[in-house]
Homo-oligomer: A and B are copies of this chain.
Amino acid sequence: MKSQKIPEATIIRLSVYSRYLKQLEKNGLITVSSGTIAEGVDGSPAQVRKDLAYFGEFGTRGVGYNVSDLNRYITKILGIDNKWNVIIVGAGNLGSALSQYKGFDERGFNVLALFDNDPEIVGKKAGKIPVFSAPRMTSFIKENNVEIGIIAVPAPFAQDIVDEMVGAGIKAILNFAPRVISVPDYVELRNVDLAVNMEVLTFNMTFQK
């Protein structure tokens, strides 16, 4: 791979390609062309090839790509060829739902525990995932080699939890609280804001088309 800045959009698409390839693989398909991938993910063949070209040459001219090889390459690129340990803070409606999400496990994300500060919830389980008390978070992160934290507490508490996570050595955070969060630049942060997504929909309904 050439050392170069990779567009985030490319990474997002690679993840979608990977999901689609997995499906093709299950269907017993051996080879696939950029055109077929493009159809399957609602994109363009040139885009598919360009995205892959950032990382190497994975295809055979005149033939296409070997489905399972390509998926293995992409999986490696995305960094999910091995497992990641994850915790979720906030065992309310959203946190509990996330802890049950099969899509995490399937893609190599291992949710070890939930954390909450409500004594009514602490000690219980959400499915198979235990809920621990919030003050235990830091030591748990250190002892269990947790790299990724998910924020599912109410917005006013989000930054505090994030700071604690960062202090404990977490490397990446997925934030669901509708707040702008600060992290040092060696920590990866992504925000998932559902109201924002809804508002993009309503904007498009109201203005465009």
Q: Which residues of A contact B (CB under 8 A)?
A: 1, 6, 8, 11-12, 14-16, 18-20, 40-42, 77-80, 84, 93-94, 96-98, 100-101, 103-104, 106-107, 109, 147-148, 171-174, 178, 180, 182, 185-186, 188, 190, 192-209
Q: Which of B1, B104, B200, B201 contacts A195 (CB 8 A)?
A: B104
A196 → B minimal CB distance (Å): 4
Q: Which of B8, B148, B182 contacts A198 (CB 8 A)?
A: B148
Q: Would A188 and B171 be within 8 Å (CB), given that A16-B180, A101-B194 are in contact?
A: no
The reply to whether B201 and A172 form a contact with Cβ atoms under 8 Å apart is yes
Q: What is the count of identical protomers in the complex?
A: 2
Q: Which of B1, B11, B147, B195 contacts A19 (CB 8 A)?
A: B195
Q: With CB as the reference atom, state the residue of chain B lying closest to A147.
A: B205
Q: Which of B96, B171, B201 contacts A174 (CB 8 A)?
A: B201
Across the A-B interface, give the 5 residue pairs with the lowest CB-CB distance, nearest first: A79-B206, A79-B202, A93-B97, A97-B97, A172-B201
Chain A interface SS verdict (over half): helix
The reply to whether A180 and B41 form a contact with Cβ atoms under 8 Å apart is yes
The reply to whether A200 and B8 form a contact with Cβ atoms under 8 Å apart is yes
For A77, the chain B residues whose CB sits under 8 A away are 203, 207
Q: With CB as the reference atom, state the residue of chain B lying closest to A109.
A: B198
A188 → B minimal CB distance (Å): 5
Q: With CB as the reference atom, state the residue of chain B lying closest to A192.
A: B197
The reply to whether A188 and B205 form a contact with Cβ atoms under 8 Å apart is yes
Q: How far is the CA of A93 from the CA of B200 in the complex (A)?
A: 25
For A41, the chain B residues whose CB sits under 8 A away are 180
For A42, the chain B residues whose CB sits under 8 A away are 180, 182
The reply to whether A192 and B192 form a contact with Cβ atoms under 8 Å apart is yes
The reply to whether B6 and A207 form a contact with Cβ atoms under 8 Å apart is yes
For A206, the chain B residues whose CB sits under 8 A away are 78-79
